[in-house]
Amino acid sequence: MVVETCLEKEKKEGATVTEGPLKIRKVSVKDVQFGEVTEVRGETLFLNPDDIRRELLEDKHLLSVDVKIARPGESTRIIPVKDILAPAVKVDGPGCVFPGFIGNPARTIAGRGTTAFLEGVAVVTSGRLVNFQEGLIDMTGPGAEYSIFSRLVNVVLVLEPVEGLGKHEHERVVREAGVKAAAFIGKAAATAEYSEETVYANETIPEIHSKYPDLPKVVYVRQVLAQGLLHDNFLYGLNAREGAIPLYMQATELFDGAIVSGNCAAPCHKHTTYHHQKDPISEDLLAEHGKSLAFLGIIAQPVRTAFSEKERNSFQVLKIAKSLGADGAIIAEDGGGNPECDLMLTASILEQAGIKTVIVTDEYAGGDGASPGLADISPYADAVVTNGNGNERVVLPPMEKVIGHLETIEVITGGHSGSLLKDGSINMEIAGIMGSTNELGMENLSTRAI
């Protein structure tokens, strides 16, 4: 088994490679079916659900695992959705995908070697509600137009933990089950024929400055919620609030799953693990690297709650950005409301230090779009990309099939008491649709002035 092999390799040889490129291979999948063996044949992924259940039920905190398949165009609604992950495998090179959850994070630097993805497939975790900030995915109809996940074949894990778990332990159990399933299913990509391969060089900072002296040097500041209260993300398996100080990363580390979501922020703008693995801003900056700009890498900025922590982390971002020699910065928000203080503070500090800054966000501007869209503003934040209004309302028609617990719509963000109508349709804000206003731009919406 590939995951076992990568773990054995860590144990025998170590996994301390710090240099070298990352190759990303994409294995095209158009359909998913149940079968006797988990493998890719042609463009169909076959899954043995018993093997998946057996793998996940090793955690005795899980009572049951039901494996469902939801395909684009089907009359299917998935609710509540907790996290979404891209199935992947480390074919060669140091460590495993999702370091810290699989393998030894102390001996792994992600983003080297060869990683293969099952492209067109996602692993979706669902089940009994953990927190009100969970969302839905419609596979057809108007709701599907708001979410990229409606265009993927979703392997949905309906996870029911044992009774008596607190919310934090419940969240941990389903988070780790999702990671484990994405790695287990991703093994099918190891020997499958891939349709595309991209090589990322992982140049050092001195190499970048030497090779591209005349290009503007750009750093990408990526907020990572680290607030507690189920608003956390994990860096190499470590809860970001435990370190709570900015960390320099190369974009290839994200692609290997170095950040895993434990974040129950509003569904429209939460960064799922899938968003971390497929970060489009990183992909675009890498595509332009050496052409219109020189991409210096990522500063992962934990977002804490106290203003003193926000100040400390914002100035630490400035320190790293100046040390890297950045001329410009892009800051992508994670979540909404409280993180907008960090967003504006960091943008202001960078701008005043001479680093031109663009912020990427979304808005909560009221149902008519006429209210202030952000919880904080700054005159220095004068270059803004915004990805939609979470308060926009929509009526979603009933679906023939529901995976999960439909009644949670009256509790989750974007819904309310009375959202579930008698005919099974839903009246809600798009805040409850997974990724509808994603602040990395991995969606269909934007915002215009009225």
Q: Which residues contact 164 (CB under 8 A, 6 or more apart)?
A: none
- pLDDT at position 365 is 87
Q: Which of 127-136, 188-197, 264-273, 331-340 has the highest mean pLDDT?
A: 188-197
Tell me: cis bond preceding 216? Omega within 30 of 0 counts. Answer: no
pLDDT surpassing 80 at residue 107: no
- pLDDT at position 11 is 57
Please give the tally of structural domains in the chain. 1
pTM (predicted TM-score): 0.94
- pLDDT at position 3 is 46
Q: Which residue has the higher pLDDT, 403 or 444?
A: 403
| 450 found inside a domain | no
Confidence of residue 385 (pLDDT cuts 50, 70, 90): very high
pLDDT surpassing 50 at residue 228: yes
- pLDDT at position 262 is 85
Mean pLDDT (whole number) for 171-195:
96
Mean pLDDT (whole number) for 178-186:
97
Report percent pLDDT > 70 for the chain: 94
Confidence of residue 332 (pLDDT cuts 50, 70, 90): very high
pLDDT surpassing 80 at residue 309: yes
Mean pLDDT (whole number) for 345-362:
97
How confident is the prediction for the chain on average, in pLDDT? 92
| 438 found inside a domain | no
| 360 found inside a domain | yes
Confidence of residue 5 (pLDDT cuts 50, 70, 90): low
Which range of residues forms the domain containing residue 335?
Answer: 2-432
Pairing of strands 231-235, 238-239: antiparallel
Mean pLDDT (whole number) for 37-53:
97
User: b or e along 160-189 (b: 16 or more beta carbons within 10 Å of the residue's beta carbon)?
Assistant: ebeeeeeeeebbbbbbbbbbbbbbbbbbbb
Report percent pLDDT > 90 for the chain: 77
| 229 found inside a domain | yes
| 442 found inside a domain | no
Q: Which residues contact 127 (CB under 8 A, 6 or more apart)?
A: 80, 82, 157, 158, 159, 160, 161, 174, 404, 405
Q: Which residues contact 298 (CB under 8 A, 6 or more apart)?
A: 219, 220, 221, 222, 248, 249, 250, 251, 253, 254, 282
- pLDDT at position 140 is 98
* CA angle in degrees (0–180, nearest 5) for 10-16-20: 115
- Helix H, strand E, coil C: the string for the chain is CHHHHHHHHHHHHCCCCCCCCEEEEEEECCEEEECCCCEEECCEEEECHHHHHHHHCCCCCEEEEEEEEECCCCCEEEEEEEEEECCEEEEECCCCCCCCCCCCHHHCCCCCEEEEEEECEEEEEEECCCCCCCEEEECCCHHHHHCHHHHCEEEEEEEEECCCCCHHHHHHHHHHHHHHHHHHHHHHHCCCCCCEEEEECCCCHHHHHHHCCCCCEEEEEEEEEEEECCEEEEECCEEHHHHCCCEEECHHHHHCCCEEEEECCCCCCCCCHHHHHCCHHHHHHHHHECCCEEEEEEEEEEECCCHHHHHHHHHHHHHHHHHHCCCEEEEECCCCCCHHHHHHHHHHHHHHCCCEEEEEEEECCCCCCCCCCCCCCCCCCCCEEEEEECCCEEEECCCCEEEECHHHHHCCCCCCCCCECCCCCEEEEHHHECCCCCCCCCCCCCCCCC
Mean pLDDT (whole number) for 267-271:
92
- pLDDT at position 16 is 55
Annotated active-site residue 341? The verdict is no
pLDDT surpassing 60 at residue 297: yes
- pLDDT at position 130 is 84
| 439 found inside a domain | no
Confidence of residue 398 (pLDDT cuts 50, 70, 90): very high
| 140 found inside a domain | yes
| 449 found inside a domain | no
Q: pLDDT tens digits, residue range 77-99? A: 999 999 999 999 999 988 899 99
pLDDT surpassing 90 at residue 293: yes
Q: Which of 96, 264, 268, 341 is catalytic?
A: 264
pLDDT surpassing 80 at residue 341: yes
- Helix H, strand E, coil C: the string for 302-315 is EECCCHHHHHHHHH
pLDDT surpassing 90 at residue 14: no
Going from the C-alpha of 375 to that of each of 42, 310, 365, 447, the distances in angstroms are 49, 15, 10, 17
The two three-digit tokens of residue 295, written as one number: 């991409």
User: Which phi-psi region, left, alpha or beta, contains residue 228 (left: φ > 0; alpha: ψ -120 to 50)?
Assistant: left
Mean pLDDT (whole number) for 313-340:
95
pLDDT surpassing 50 at residue 2: no
pLDDT surpassing 60 at residue 9: no
Contact 147, 138 (CB under 8 A): yes
